[in-house]
Amino acid sequence: MKADHPEILFTGISPRLPTTDLPRTVAFYEDLLGFRADVLWPEVDPKFCVLRRGQVSLAFDRVGSSVALADATGFYIEAADVRAMHQAVRGGVTVEWGPEVYQYGRREFAIRDPNGYMIIFTEHTDDPPTCADD
């Protein structure tokens, strides 16, 4: 089923990649490539990070060695209207979660592509959170 594609502007893309050693990954990108940690979550013993340098961002999830790479690999697409995007695709694909507003000021929802890669549509919002911080 082909989705109705509204004119929703996509403004950026950020890969979300698995790592078994998050501190080592953060150190590599900060020390060698000049990225800076924009998000480390949770604060104690982080399992997720977003690294930024200029307009480029990379996200990493700490995973165990037994996790399938497709399950832990994906990307974020920055969209101008996440709710409209959700409406456009929800009949043609299983929505993994969302749309929800998170405490970090983003409205997001996720789907998977045919390879199992997670695609997270995201936008900044000042709306209050709609879900608990997991």
Percent of the chain at pLDDT above 70? 90
Q: Tens digit of pLDDT for each residue in 13-65?
A: 999 998 889 999 999 999 988 999 999 999 899 999 999 998 889 999 888 87
Residues 89-101 have pLDDT tens digits of 988 899 999 999 9
Q: What is the pLDDT of residues 71-82, one digit of tens each?
A: 778 899 999 999
39 alpha carbon, distance to own chain's centre: 12
CA angle 58, 63, 66 (to 5 degrees): 135
Confidence check: pLDDT of 8 > 90 = no
Residue 69 has pLDDT above 80, yes or no: no
Domains and CATH numbers, the chain: 10-124 (3.10.180.10)
- Inform me whether the pLDDT recorded for 84 exceeds 70: yes
Number of H helices, E strands in the chain: 3, 8
Cis bond before residue 114 (omega within 30° of 0): no
d(CA 118, CA 42): 21
Instruction: Please tell me the predicted confidence (pLDDT) of residue 29.
Output: 92
Answering whether pTM is above 0.85, one says no
Q: Tokens 């996509």 belong to which residue?
A: 10
Q: How far apart are CA 93 and CA 22, in angstroms?
A: 31
> Dihedral sign, CA of 60, 3, 95, 86?
positive
